[in-house]
A and B are shown apart, each in its own frame.
Chain A
Amino acid sequence: MKELLKDIKKRYDISMIVHQRPDEVFATVNKEEAVALITHLRDHEGFTHLVLLTAVDWLEDGKFQLTYLLNNDAKRNDLGLRVMIDREEATMESIHHLWEQAATYQRELKEMFGIDFPGSPRVNESFILEGWHDIPPYRRDFDTKKYSEETYFPRPGRVTHDPAEYMKKKLYPEE
């Protein structure tokens, strides 16, 4: 793993390397080089399997983090690549030409986070949500509780207790 990182560090601008486990490493790569690096890893370094493609919403930083988790089956190790993209203009190059199944991930990310992948097959079709009109629900500024209360006719009578207060009252009622 260390030799591989040394090797790709010569050609690509990667940073924030975290050795999660001996066989699992995470690194951040910039948006422009990401697809080139993934292609290189797939074709020359044996990372033939795309485990997952997911996103994290860093609302405070105004960024989306895309995580591409790649697996090298022959050497039994994983490499996670983080790509930070702008939250306002959330677009990323598609990788469906490398793995067909990435199109499904990208379709889901488009729907749930509003991250666009131009050219990805059926990316603009609805996937799980049909006829969704609000902002994408996995964005952290989407208030799911408020939306649910306004939309789904909540049944009255639901009470929420603060666990600490509730147990204190229950165990030591005289205090």
Chain B
Amino acid sequence: MSMKDLEKRTVTGPDGEQFEVDPMQDYFCQETPQVHKPSNRIWEKFLNWARAESLWILGFGTGCGAIEMRPLMTPRFDAYRYGIQWRPTPRQSNLFIIGGYMSVKTLKRAIRSYEQMQGPKFVVGLGSCTINGGMYWDSYNTINRLDHYLPVDVYIAGCMPRPESLLAGFEELKKLIKAGKAEGQNLYAENFEWYKKNQKQIIKDWDMPDYNW
């Protein structure tokens, strides 16, 4: 995609009819995300329990850490028994695992994917690279701190962490969700300006709408 694709234009349909397309209005939502304050009622606790027990992971491996997901999917470590499964599209998932180092080019796609996910949504940073850059800390092309661009709920340290650590991390995330502390989505909405400023500082050719779910 380039900035040109976002301009208003006249398109001829397959039946020959001409109509005007304004991608920023027609294809994307320009509304900034809203904060959804959790209520402290029993109902919210029930919802949190339900959320914690069905973590659906977006199948987007952003770095080498994504290789640890394969043994988790398969019978040896079998994450499915904890209600965790992998989904092919952002619309169907509520957990985004950033699998290790994140290059600027991938970050752009990761931000779009995160924003397309439906709330409530959570982010897990897998591996040292998401925490402080790991072994790529002085690279010209990989970010150092993931929490400057996306709200991270749980970090799983290690280079790379074994599937057991990931399972432990999921358990930790479940505890946070059940306690009502996994509020990354609201954090993102509250500090939207700050996140966008950081994202745009890194991604020099910003050629997408500011918020594109």
Contacts and interface: CB of A to CB of B under 8 A. Distances in A.
B195 interface: no
B140 A142 contact: yes
B105 A144 contact: no
Interface string B130-166: 0111000111111111001000000000000000000
Contact of A152 (B144, B204, B205): B144
B118 interface: no
B104 to A, nearest CB: 7
A131 B145 contact: no
A130 B132 contact: no
15 contacts: A128-B103, A128-B141, A129-B104, A130-B205, A132-B204, A144-B138, A144-B139, A147-B140, A151-B201, A152-B142, A152-B143, A152-B144, A153-B145, A155-B131, A155-B133
Contact of B105 (A130, A134, A149, A158): A130
A130 B208 CA distance: 13
B28 to A, nearest CB: 19
B205 A145 contact: no
B202 interface: yes
**Range for the number of chain B residues in contact with chain A:** 20 to 34
A27 B139 CA distance: 33
B140 A154 contact: no
Interface in A122-145: 126, 128-134, 137, 142, 144-145
| Interface bracket on A | 20 to 34
A55 B103 CA distance: 23
Given A129-B104, A130-B204, A130-B205, A153 B140 contact: no
A151 B202 contact: yes
A151 B103 CA distance: 13
Nearest to B149: A153
Given A144-B139, A147-B140, A154 B133 contact: yes
Contacts, number: 60
Interface of B: 103-105, 108, 131-133, 137-145, 148, 198, 201-205
A154 B202 contact: no
Contact of B132 (A129, A132, A133, A155): A155
Contacts of B140: 134, 137, 142, 144, 147-148
B148 A131 contact: no
Contacts of B142: 152
A152 B143 CA distance: 5
A146 to B, nearest CB: 9
Contacts of A134: 140
Nearest to A155: B132
Nearest to A126: B205
Contacts of A154: 132-133, 137, 144-145
A122 to B, nearest CB: 14
B128 to A, nearest CB: 11
